[in-house]
Amino acid sequence: MHLTRFTDYSLRVLIYLAVKGEQRSTITEIAERFEISRNHLMKVVQDLNHRGYITAIRGKNGGLLLKRAPETIRLGELVRDTERDMNLVECFGDANECVITPACRLKPILAEALNAFLAVLDHYTLADLMGPQRPKLIGLLQLDDVPPAS
């Protein structure tokens, strides 16, 4: 069981933009700092922009900014948005062919477990991922020109 790379990278983009605050960022810059694929990031950024998490400003002085305050972005909401396939096992999906489905309680029990998973994530926001560690994150990301106090 794991989250997709798409969700992982979505979280990294949002953390990066949250750390930068008012300063604009580029996809190239984020890809370099995390040493991850620029191509993957492009799709992630397009999706986050489409869903209203971030703003992509075009032009010479353009760049990426968070569109919502970090305190308002619940992690459960984000994971529901970025994980396209939450079908834990075959009987969750439309193509289910398991013969015992009408009498088996696996699906409702797993659904209860999934809800518990997401309920924990709904308790936390993007701001909680940083906590009081923003200055340390600035250092780790080598963002020397970003002021430590937001």
Residue 55 — φ and ψ, nearest 5°? -115, 130
Least distance (Å) between residue 139 CB and a copy of itself:
8
**Is 75 among the residues that bind a copy of itself (CB under 8 A)?**
yes
What is the dihedral sign for C-alpha 84, 2, 124, 42? negative
Least distance (Å) between residue 61 CB and a copy of itself:
26
**How far does CA 63 lie from the centroid of its chain?**
18
Distinct helix (H) and strand (E) counts, the chain: 7, 2
- Beta-ladder partners of 55: 65
Return the structure tokens found at 56.
């992509």
Q: Give the residue from 86, 97, 62, 79 showing the smallest Cα distance to 11.
A: 79
Size of the site for a copy of itself (CB under 8 A): 51
**Is 124 among the residues that bind a copy of itself (CB under 8 A)?**
yes
> Using the rule CB under 8 A, which residue among 42, 109, 147, 148 binds a copy of itself?
109
Between 59 and 102, whose beta carbon lies closer to a copy of itself? 102
**Is 35 among the residues that bind a copy of itself (CB under 8 A)?**
yes
Return the structure tokens found at 64.
């990426």
68/62 Cα distance (integer angstroms): 18
Between 60 and 97, whose beta carbon lies closer to a copy of itself? 97
**Is 33 among the residues that bind a copy of itself (CB under 8 A)?**
yes
Least distance (Å) between residue 59 CB and a copy of itself:
29
List contacts with a copy of itself (CB under 8 A).
1-4, 7-8, 11-12, 15, 33-35, 75, 79, 83, 85-90, 97-100, 102-106, 109-110, 112-114, 116-121, 124, 128-131, 133, 136-137, 140-141
